[in-house]
Amino acid sequence: MDKQAQRHLFEGIIDQHKGILFKVARAYCPDEEDRQDLIQEMMIQIWRSIPKYNSQYKISTWLYRISLNVAISFYRKNSIREKRHTELTEQLAETLEDKSENEKQLNLLEQFISELKEIDKALMILYLEDKRYAEIAKILGMSVSNVGTKIGRIKDQIKLRFSQLKIIRQ
């Protein structure tokens, strides 16, 4: 693939699918400044991987693999983030007061997702993005039945967190 074609494809992919990168980055990296670095790293990996792109996979499957792999590796290398994460949780609780009900719920959902273990988080993002179990299995590299079992478990966990919060608020 010549450089011009690679550039064209890269810009097209980023323009059309940047939402994937941002959602994954938001889930794995609550800190705005670090998130920019994470997105930059994802873009670098996409650029490098374009010549190896296998058209048997959907672009979104390919992109999810790259962005999730980069995000999980980024977390591993920068675990300082965990501390900031706790601080952000406290800040979140304070700032929730001024927001609309929908925004509060969304902040809580994001908060609960960020509390999940790294691979559970990937699974939950894909589930919420309405991906079919077969596609999730392809992205993560696990069996379809395992996807179903794990999703069920994580959903219960999140529902429990919402109901616990409801009890506290009452």
Partner 1 sequence: MNELELKKLWQTTNDRLDENLILSKRNSEDIVGMKVYGIIGSMKPIKFFALLIGVFWVGIGGTALSSIYLNSFSEANKIFLFSASFQVGLTAIALLVYLYQLITIYHVDITDPVIRTQEKLLNLKMSTLWVARILLLQLPVWTTFWWNETMLNEWGVLQWTISLFFTISFTAIAIWLFFNIKYENRNKKWFQLIFSGKEWTPLMTSMKLLEQVEDYKG
Among 28, 29, 111, 139, binds partner 1 (CB under 8 A): 139
Closest separation in Å from C-beta 1 to partner 1: 13
Q: Does 115 bind partner 1 (CB under 8 A)?
A: no
Among 28, 30, 39, 111, binds partner 1 (CB under 8 A): 39
Return the HEC string of the chain.
CCHHHHHHHHHHHHHHHHHHHHHHHHHHCCCHHHHHHHHHHHHHHHHHHHHHCCCCCCHHHHHHHHHHHHHHHHHHHCCCHHHHHHHHHHHHHHHHHHCCHHHHHHHHHHHHHHHCCHHHHHHHHHHHCCCCHHHHHHHHCCCHHHHHHHHHHHHHHHHHHHHHHHHHHC
Q: Does 65 bind partner 1 (CB under 8 A)?
A: yes
Chain residues binding partner 1 by CB under 8 A are 7, 10-11, 14, 18-19, 22-23, 26, 39-40, 43-45, 47-49, 52-54, 62, 65-66, 68-70, 72-73, 75-77, 79-80, 102, 105-106, 109-110, 117-120, 122, 128-130, 138-142, 146, 150, 155, 158-159, 162
